[in-house]
Copies of this chain bind each other. A is one copy, B any other.
Amino acid sequence: MIRIGVIGFGYWGPNVVRNFQGLAACRVVTICDSNPSAQERARKIYPSMNVTGNSSELLTSAEIDAVAVVTPVWTHFELAKKALENGKHVFVEKPFTSNSAQAEELIELAEKKHLKIMVDHTFLFTGAVRKIRQLVDEDVLGRLYYYDSTRVNLGLFQHDVNVIWDLAPHDLSIMDYVIKHKAQALVATGACHLNGHGAGPLNGREEMAYITVYFPDNIIAHVNVNWLSPVKVRLTLLGGEKKMLVWNDLEADEKLKVYDRGVHLGNANGNGVYDLLVSYRSGDMWAPKVDQSEALKLESAYFLDCIINDKAPFNDGMAGLRVVRLLEAADESVRQRGKLVEL
């Protein structure tokens, strides 16, 4: 029986508590939040749990085996570090840390102490992303061409991060999971209309950004994130040589559509520009059934499984670090108006 402590009971924390609590192999023993009204909510829903405003109490408790850190990103490092130092496995909200140096330090510490780090890239446990990964693994899509995601909506503005650190971790972690090559370089552009006005461009927090990531083999990824869109869009295109895929996460059903479509360019058999032979393939579309299980439930169970059976999670500290490096690079590129940043 793994005993869990959860720090942070704001927007996402209650989901983390509920999912861990629903699993037979663990028990949430303590919930911590510095906000008294969050403590009150926690007590009302879970009268039998220990609820505290003091994270040190939780982090040093001998009754706790693993800690879930579900707090703002700038607090992740200190909390996770203390948890590891006290011999606890950690489950950390995305993005993993505020910078890559912090991530590296935590990874090193966990290794030394033989503890697990899992970064909560929840989307990797959704039925849609697992199916996409399966289609890539089974080479259904063929050689990949591109990954193109649009993730825009109105708000919710974050107080401590820009739109890149808020929305792009989803896309960058999925991209990292699906494209098996190592990202090589990145170009990002963006703009800031409401945040940080009057405080100089470097202090502004972008509400919209466009990130291009270069991979080997001409594979390219593009992420469009925007807090100032009148409509919500969650649309990802994944192009491959054999098949192409559209993932619309706002569809209740038919989130994933796989198209038997493509282009073949033949050899020019003549003597000029007009002799290029282009043939199009436009066949059936297929929407595979996608598992509707709650992603966080699967992820929670996987965390326990990794602890109990001493497995290395695929969404470990290294996965979190790769995403943080992309976020850092995107910030740097945006502020230098699209400068190419090598990774």
- A residues bordering B, Cβ < 8 Å? 47, 145-146, 148, 150, 152, 154-157, 159-160, 185, 187, 189-195, 208, 210, 212, 214, 218-220, 222, 224, 226-232, 237, 239, 241, 244-246, 250, 252-254, 257, 259-263, 265, 273-274, 276, 278, 280, 282-289, 333, 337-340
Can you name 10 A-B pairs with beta carbons within 8 Å? A146-B208, A152-B237, A159-B276, A187-B189, A190-B220, A210-B222, A212-B338, A230-B246, A250-B252, A284-B287
Query: Cα distance A283–B241 when bound, in Å?
Result: 26
In Å, the complex CA distance between A160 and B272 comes to 10
By the criterion CB–CB under 8 Å, are A289 and B282 in contact?
yes
A253→B160 CA distance, assembly (Å): 29
Give A275 to B102 CA distance when docked, in angstroms: 27
Q: Given A187-B337, A218-B193, does the pair A273, B239 have CB atoms closer than 8 Å?
A: no
Chain B contacts of A222 at CB under 8 A? 189, 210, 224
Closest chain B CB from A238 CB (angstroms) = 9
Known: A192-B218, A230-B244. A154 touches B280 (CB 8 A): yes
| A229 CA / B262 CA spacing, docked (Å) | 8
Contact between chains at B285 and A287 (CB < 8 Å): yes
Q: Which residue of B lies closest to A143 (CB)?
A: B193
Contact present for B230 and A252 (CB under 8 Å): no
* Docked pose: A237 CA to B284 CA in angstroms: 20
Contact A228 B263 (CB under 8 A): yes
Select A159's contact among B253, B273, B280, beta carbons within 8 Å: B273
Given contacts A237-B230, A337-B185, contact A220 B246 (CB under 8 A): no
Closest 6 CB pairs of A and B: A187-B338, A230-B244, A230-B259, A189-B212, A285-B287, A191-B220
CB neighbours of A278 from chain B (8 A): 155-157
> Which of B148, B245, B252, B262 is within 8 Å of A232, CB to CB?
B252
> In the complex, are the beta carbons of A228 and B146 less than 8 A apart?
yes
Q: Give CA–CA (A17, B154) in the complex, Å.
A: 33
Minimal beta-carbon separation of A282 from chain B (angstroms): 7
Chain B residue with the shortest CB-CB distance to A246? B231
Pick from B259, B260, B289: contact of A283, CB under 8 Å: B289
With a cutoff of 8 Å between Cβ atoms, the chain B residues found around residue A246 in the complex are: 230-231
Complex Cα spacing A282 to B228, Å:
12
Collect the chain B residues with CB atoms within 8 Å of residue A226's CB. 146, 148, 237
Q: Which of B145, B194, B210, B250 contacts A228 (CB 8 A)?
A: B145
Are B210 and A191 within 8 A (Cβ)?
Answer: no
**Interchain CA distance A185-B185 in the complex, whole Å:** 21
User: Which B residue's beta carbon lies closest to that of A274?
Assistant: B159
Max chain B C-beta neighbours (<10 A), residue from A212, A250, A278, A338:
A338
User: Within the assembled complex, what's the spacing in Å between the Cα atoms of A288 and B282?
Assistant: 10
Are B231 and A253 interface neighbours, CB within 8 A? yes
**Which residue of chain B has its CB nearest to the CB of A204?**
B218
Known contacts A250-B252, A338-B338; decide if A284 and B276 are in contact (CB<8 Å). no
